[in-house]
Amino acid sequence: MRISFEGAGVDFEKRTVLQPLTLVLEEPRIGVIGLNGSGKTTFARLINGLLKPSVGRVTLDGLDTVKDEKLLRGATGFIFQNPANQIILPLIRDDIALGLKPQGLSVYETNARVDAVMARFGIVHLAERRPHELSGGELQLAALAAVVVTEPKLILFDEPTNQLDLKNRSMVEQAIAGLSQQAVVISHDLALVEDFARVLVFHEGRPVFDGPGRPAVAHYREIAHS
């Protein structure tokens, strides 16, 4: 997917949260790093249309996230920092199937899609489990399965490895690496993004570095320790 920012910025209560920026993102894996309050989440929410730009515009494959909101519905998926907040049904299998209801699939087609996505992420054994019974990594995979089953073109992640132990972090890292969809990953986990082809470093409401993962991480470390 071609993500274009055309002089897009955000003001909130007379304060500039994200300075107007112009750039194009097409890489399969895009990292977004920076200090708290640097504009990372605002940037991501402009992409999926949860925020509207105060100036300029954002387009996905030429479609405006504001004017063409209905046409873009379903084109992007979002994984919250706390995935438990987006799992709303008691059983994991039912929650994954929920996103398919608007597509009007038959019971057979729905079951087949749900079975396939659970097998893909290795969570078949979690089908009849409840969210509070899952580990942090399992919750992330369940939330990811619920997004992937709807077949979006782009998935945005907000701190996907936050507070995960090494085992669960590895599960999530492998899942992201194996996605066929384009992914934009906001993270303080620098190791997660350092091998990405493109990483944006945000500081004070604007990207101050845009390039491969390792030099991006090095630039961020300089900012963090200055």
Give the pLDDT confidence score for residue 27 in this predicted structure.
97
Residue 183's Cβ-count burial label (10 Å; 0-12, 13-18, 19+) is buried
What global pTM score does this model have?
A: 0.91
Q: In this predicted structure, what is the pLDDT of residue 221?
A: 96
**What pLDDT shows up at residue 163?**
81
Q: Report the Cα–Cα distance between both ends of the chain, in Å, rounded.
A: 36
d(CA 214, CA 134): 33
In degrees, rounded to 5, the angle at the alpha carbon of residue 207 between the alpha carbons of residues 205 and 210 is 170
pLDDT of residue 82: 85
In degrees and rounded to multiples of 5, residue 52 shows phi and psi of: -105, 135
Is 163 exposed, middle or buried (CB count within 10 Å of its CB: 0-12, 13-18, 19+)?
exposed
CB atoms within 10 A of CB 72: 20
Domains of the chain, residue spans: 1-75+154-165+177-226, 79-151
Q: Digits of tens for pLDDT over the chain (226 positions)?
A: 999 999 999 998 889 999 999 999 999 999 999 999 999 999 999 999 999 999 999 999 999 999 999 899 889 999 988 888 889 999 999 999 998 988 888 999 999 999 999 999 999 999 999 999 998 889 989 999 999 999 999 999 999 998 888 988 998 899 999 999 999 999 999 999 999 999 999 999 999 999 999 999 999 999 998 8
Closest to 10 measured CA to CA, from 66, 51, 63, 68: 51
Neighbours of 129 (CB within 10 A): 16
**Residue 78 pairs with which residues in a beta bridge?**
156
Q: What CATH architecture applies to the domain 1-75+154-165+177-226?
A: 3-Layer(aba) Sandwich (3.40)
For residues 158 and 83, give the distance between their C-alpha atoms in angstroms, rounded to a whole number: 10
> Which tokens in the block code for residue 58?
């954002």
In this prediction, residue 103 carries a pLDDT of: 86
**Torsions phi, psi for 74 (to 5 deg):** 90, -10
- Is 152 in contact with 81 (CB distance < 8 Å)? no
User: What integer pLDDT is reported at residue 80 of this predicted model?
Assistant: 86
Say what the pLDDT of residue 174 is: 92
Spatial neighbors of 203 by CB under 8 A, at least 6 apart, are 34, 35, 38, 223
Do 194 and 219 touch, CB atoms closer than 8 A?
no
